[in-house]
Amino acid sequence: MLWNTELIEKYNLSGPRYTSYPTAPQFSTEISKITLIEKMLTPSAKPLSLYFHIPFCAHLCYYCACNKVVTKQYDKGREYIELLEEELRLRSLMVQNDRPVTQLHFGGGTPTFLSCDSIKTLFNSIHQYFNLLDDDSGDYSIEVDPREIDLEKLTCLRELGFNRLSLGIQDFDERVQKAIHRSQSVNLVSDLLQQARSLGFRSINFDLIYGLPFQSVESFERTLDIVIEMSPDRLSIFNYAHLPERFPSQRRILDTSLPNTTTKLAMLKRISERLSEAGYIHIGMDHFAKESDSLTIAQQNKQLKRNFQGYTTHDETDLIAFGTSAISHFNNTYTQNFVDLPSYQKTIESGQLPIVKGYISSKDDLIRQFVIMSLICHFELHFAEFNAKFDMAFQSYFTKELAELHTLEKDGIVTLGQNKIEVTNAGRILIRCVCMIFDQYLNNGIRYSKVI
């Protein structure tokens, strides 16, 4: 990734993160639930990816924009498991139960809010209705709050079949931690990391955030020192989007405490430099991985994909998602569950799937999805591959978009050849801007985060 400050400042626009195309704001409540369920009933031989959203958090992190319920009442976790079990039963009636589950992910919220007994209960139900792999060959991951786990729970997760962890770190600076209401010591994380490795977890990801209150280039450099020493397999380093009008908890973060744009860009530059020096590969956007990691290998082999769980090696699956706000993707169709817990609970208790909205992709959507996902995963698109896949000429279909790309070419973000589009090293950090040219739905009044 080649750093060009002038280029980054010019193109630091707002835009989608493209975990799907079309993106979630296009989902509609106007499509009938019956129509969406009929799409789900279409036979498929694809493996399955299962996602479970656990919304509960015992602590309120001020920066957080996730769908969550903050509570110290741990019994709510057990009650929620009962709702998930019923959703599992309902969805299993519509999906062939012999299809292998090659990917499983628990997200939140804080999945480790759940007790060991609750997690075991949920796993037993998943086993009952779906074909979980028992040879440790799948990618079974869970998001972990280091403050909400101990050795007993970690051991429980490994015994159930989880083999990947994603730790929410954000920053190791104590002043920053206090400002965002998320205090966790270096020793706490280090001990957890050692325990996870001794138990045989094969991949560990750290989530970090730059742009938080009181961060500076120097303070984040110290966090990077610690992180590089700990040597996680993957890193997701996100830009903090301060939107207090949308997320009330962010109102506790004073605007005056936030680093300015110049500082944030300087931080990102150092992140890129330091991780590159430490042997990490920039996968794309805010993701980095070791050279030996499966994400890196998938990208090298042109097999990397992207979905609601970020970059993945498992997009050949049908994604079935459970819990509040969860989004499924199957048969070129998206469905989303109710976001709020009361509506989700009421619908489940009435014996219905908790689907509130969805989207059925058109042919044009699928064409643009292919282009956007090719660019965001591999930084290039070969016209011959497109022409063969869709039986049409790329240059004819995207005449307007190619004209817009010429502006990016003049600025050194892409190169346009006779046979392909290629994103330059300087353009990789601005990949969302390249993808936005192919997005038909941008002018819809939705406010997105900055691309940097």
State the DSSP string of 306-373: EETTEEES-TTSEEEEESTT-EEEETTEEEEE-SSHHHHHHHHHTTS--EEEEEE--HHHHHHHHHHH
Q: Which residue has the tokens 């989207």?
A: 359
Could you read off the pLDDT tens digit of each residue along the chain, which spans 452 residues?
788 888 988 998 888 999 999 999 999 999 999 999 999 999 999 999 999 999 999 999 999 988 899 999 999 999 999 999 999 999 999 998 899 999 999 999 999 999 999 999 999 999 999 999 999 999 999 999 999 999 999 999 999 999 999 999 999 999 999 999 999 999 999 999 999 999 999 999 999 999 999 999 999 999 999 999 999 999 999 999 898 998 999 999 999 999 998 999 999 999 999 999 999 999 998 899 999 999 999 999 999 999 888 898 876 899 999 999 999 999 999 999 999 999 999 999 999 999 999 999 999 999 999 999 999 999 999 999 999 999 999 999 999 999 999 999 999 999 999 999 999 999 999 999 999 999 999 876 677 777 77
Backbone angles phi, psi at 108, to 5 degrees: -165, -155
Beta strand 100-108 with 131-132: parallel, antiparallel or unpaired? parallel
Distance (Å, whole) CA 416 – CA 403: 11
- For position 12, what pLDDT does the model report? 86
CA dihedral 59, 62, 64, 66 (to 10 degrees): 60
pTM of the model: 0.95
Backbone angles phi, psi at 207, to 5 degrees: -95, 125
Q: Per the structure block, which two tokens stand in for 439? A: 């997005």
Distance (Å, whole) CA 210 – CA 263: 10
Q: Per the structure block, which two tokens stand in for 428? A: 């990789």
- For position 289, what pLDDT does the model report? 97
Distance (Å, whole) CA 297 – CA 413: 25
Contact present, 234 and 169 (Cβ < 8 Å): no
Helix 186-199 × helix 151-160 angle, to 10°: 30
Q: Per the structure block, which two tokens stand in for 337? A: 């569950």
Considering only CA atoms, give the Rg of the chain: 22
Q: Per the structure block, which two tokens stand in for 150? A: 């101990």
Contact present, 419 and 411 (Cβ < 8 Å): no
Closest listed residue to residue 46, CA positions, set 324, 305, 322: 305
What is residue 259's three-state secondary structure? coil
- For position 433, what pLDDT does the model report? 94
- For position 452, what pLDDT does the model report? 75
Contact present, 103 and 51 (Cβ < 8 Å): no
Distance (Å, whole) CA 336 – CA 324: 9
Distance (Å, whole) CA 11 – CA 19: 20
